[in-house]
Structure 1
Amino acid sequence: MIPGPRNLITDVSGLRVGNAADSGLKSGCTVVTARAPFMASAHVMGGAPGTRETDLLAPDKSVSEVDALVLSGGSAYGLDACSGVVDGLRAAGRGYRVGDATVPIVPGAILFDLLNGGEKGWARNPYPTLGRAAFDAAGPDFALGTAGAGTGALTAMMKGGLGSASLVLPDGTTVGALAAANPLGAVTTPGDRHFYAAPFEIDGEFGGLGPDPASGLGRDMTSRKHTAFFERANTTIAIVATDAALTKPQCYRMAVAAHDGIARACVPAHSPGDGDLVFALSTGARPDTDAARDVTLIGHAAALCLTRAIARAVYEATPEDGDLLPCWSALNA
């Protein structure tokens, strides 16, 4: 398996991603959409999720396809970014048909970034406007790091961010991941130089430093300089995607498998204070491939992509005025 030409989730043909952010707010949102609805499901493993329309994505629920997926900062306020996306889809005549009515289906998930130093004293919720702007900006190329839903993200030790990665399977099937990395845990080993995800890195995509040569890397967690991270509300939210024609239950299994990617990249992961969630989608652009029947392989690739996407999110983060934590690049200059 090798990365796609962009090493982004948009290597899955037909997908588009849009970012919008407010630097003063230190927050933003990211939208994944396509020209046609796509199959989707989701799985939650964190103890504190914030979501919209995710019940609809369960394998037994009646609506199988959605028009967009949203990742947003802002905690509960950020769920309204989905409303801005709904407005954009409605204006485009997109949505689920119910008689003469059209209802855009836009599930979303949020991360907690309300205590990151940004200006949060708004009189009117800014997230519907950010959601619409992200939808309008959607395209095949998009920024990583301090961008979109990752604008105000923090990890235990440094700034988080928005990351993405892709893989092309031997038969040509493409799998990709998009992550807004704001975990309660650390993404780097003690010393803040080596990524936990390093064994899965491809072509130096997050620095090429390799794995930490030390052992016993879990023993130092409670003595690290930011031990207050155990008391914070955080979250890693992600989307994994493939062009293989998966059913809704198969998308669900893909989402379950992809959570391994969070656990490989973030230590600890899936805590009571995290809202860790993975959406999984299928565009169905390759309906007759063997990989469409091999959900194990696709789920494995999704987990690998998600591991790499989380590390790329932190690696690509850039400094901004008023930051509470440094970037990886500043710590390793």
Structure 2
Amino acid sequence: MPESPCNLLTDVEGLTVGHATDMKLGSGVTAIVFDEPAIASGTVLGGAPGGRDTALLDPGMTVETVDAFVFSGGSAFGLDAAGGVQSGLRSIGRGFPVGSVKVPIVPQAILMDLLNGGDKDWGLHAPYRDLGYAAFKARAKGTFALGSVGAGTGATTATVKGGLGSVSAITSAGHTIAALVVVNAMGSATIGNDPHFWAAPFEVHGEFGGLGFPEHLSDQQRKMQIKGSAVTATTIGAVVTDAILSKAQAHRLSIAAQDGLARAVVPAHLPFDGDTIFAAATGKRPLQQPADFMELCHLAAIVVARATARGVYEAKALPYPGAQPSWRDRFRPVDQR
């Protein structure tokens, strides 16, 4: 598999990524902003999703392109974040034309982090619209932070701190495909009580520790691990390619990407997860043959699996009493944390 320059979503030509992180709040927002409207779709396989403008991503709906994707903590309160990104897009003249008006199209998915620490006593209005605008203003090409940042700030899993991860890959035909995943899973990205990741077979160049997969799985390692009574779940993310795709093809890409989530989090798609994956195409490189798209679907699952493990690997525990320890807290020597 050829290497991509940064091993991040921004390796895909035609987009920027921005974070807004509020450590006092213990939450944040991440925005993916497309340079031009991008063909987009998505799928929801979790039983308790939260989203905004996700219905329009159905391949049968009229609007085919989006201006941005937004991911946020805050549960339903976090849905205000898309309004902040819309404000930023409107200020630069972006949006779907409706007569003399332009309406920025900004689908959003949220995760539940209200019980993971931080000061949630924000008064009358939740801060997420302002955080959304801040994420829009912070957008940039090139490298961006991973782990406990942006929408991944308050993320957790069944075993260790969750976070935001991203990776990329290049197909044999030269198309770039990448994923950004915010891991706040009801299940676990790690195997049993060990440091190994379920996504280990797909790891590239030690991007999440290079530990590989256990030679054998014990009954204890196969046992289900899920969060307790505090239902603070939902893994959300996006897979994006520079290929030219139809909306139906983008929908199929999001379905394939959900397979990657199921390979990286065990169990996934539970009744209290909201597992939502968006897919988009920036339309820079045409497909030459049917096998090109099938390889994109194949890699969509792999980059989502890798990004999921990387988000957990890069996460840091929040600075609150009783905060969930990170993977590094549990499994790395002190001098390597």
TM-score (norm 1): 0.95
Superposed CA offset, 1:201-256 (max 9, x none): 0100000011122324676535x6xx643762401101000011000000000000
Q: Is the 1:244–1:282 contact (alpha carbons within 8 Å) kept by the matching residues of 2?
A: yes
Counterparts of residues 51-62 of structure 1 (less than 5 Å): 51-62=51-62
Q: Is the 2:261–2:305 contact (alpha carbons within 8 Å) kept by the matching residues of 1?
A: yes
- In the alignment, what sits opposite 2:257? 258
SS in 1 for 2:295: helix
SS in 2 for 1:176: strand
How far residue 190 of structure 1 moved from its aligned partner, in angstroms, is 1.4
C-alpha separation in 2, matches of 1:292 and 1:132 = 40
- In the alignment, what sits opposite 1:212? 214
Q: Is the 1:173–1:291 contact (alpha carbons within 8 Å) kept by the matching residues of 2?
A: no
SS in 1 for 2:235: strand
How far residue 324 of structure 1 moved from its aligned partner, in angstroms, is 2.0
C-alpha separation in 1, matches of 2:168 and 2:94 = 28
- In the alignment, what sits opposite 1:98? 98
Counterparts of residues 64-83 of structure 1 (less than 5 Å): 64-83=64-83
Gaps of 5+ in 1: none
* AA in 2 matched with 1:66: V
C-alpha separation in 2, matches of 1:3 and 1:24 = 37
- In the alignment, what sits opposite 1:168? 170
- In the alignment, what sits opposite 2:131? 130
How far residue 293 of structure 1 moved from its aligned partner, in angstroms, is 6.6
C-alpha separation in 2, matches of 1:180 and 1:2 = 25
Q: Given the superposition, is the C-alpha separation of residues 298 and 14 from structure 1 closer, same or farther in structure 2, using an over 3 Å criterion? A: same
Superposed CA offset, 1:309-333 (max 9, x none): 0100010012331152100001012
Superposed CA offset, 1:34-60 (max 9, x none): 221101001010000001001111111
C-alpha separation in 2, matches of 1:78 and 1:149 = 10
Q: Given the superposition, is the C-alpha separation of residues 168 and 324 from structure 1 closer, same or farther in structure 2, using an over 3 Å criterion? A: same
C-alpha separation in 2, matches of 1:28 and 1:184 = 19
- In the alignment, what sits opposite 1:144? 146
Counterparts of residues 1-333 of structure 1 (less than 5 Å): 1-123=1-123, 124-140=125-141, 141-216=143-218, 221-222=223-224, 228-229=227-228, 232-287=231-286, 289-290=287-288, 294-322=292-320, 324-333=323-332
* AA in 2 matched with 1:22: D
* AA in 1 matched with 2:247: K
Q: Is the 2:187–2:227 contact (alpha carbons within 8 Å) kept by the matching residues of 1?
A: no
C-alpha separation in 1, matches of 2:42 and 2:212 = 32
Number of residues of Structure 1 aligned to a counterpart in Structure 2: 329
SS in 2 for 1:153: coil
C-alpha separation in 2, matches of 1:24 and 1:271 = 30
Q: Is the 1:180–1:238 contact (alpha carbons within 8 Å) kept by the matching residues of 2?
A: yes
* AA in 2 matched with 1:234: A
Superposed CA offset, 1:125-153 (max 9, x none): 10000000001111122100011100000
C-alpha separation in 2, matches of 1:173 and 1:193 = 33
Q: Is the 1:161–1:314 contact (alpha carbons within 8 Å) kept by the matching residues of 2?
A: yes
Superposed CA offset, 1:113-135 (max 9, x none): 00001111111210000000001
* AA in 1 matched with 2:122: W
* AA in 2 matched with 1:312: R
Q: Is the 2:173–2:292 contact (alpha carbons within 8 Å) kept by the matching residues of 1?
A: no
Of stretches 189-198 and 315-324 in structure 1, the one that deviates more from structure 2 is 315-324
Identical amino acids, percent of aligned pairs: 50
Q: Is the 1:3–1:165 contact (alpha carbons within 8 Å) kept by the matching residues of 2?
A: no
TM-score (norm 2): 0.94
Task: Supply the RMSD in Å over aligned alpha carbons.
Answer: 1.5
Gaps of 5+ in 2: 333-337
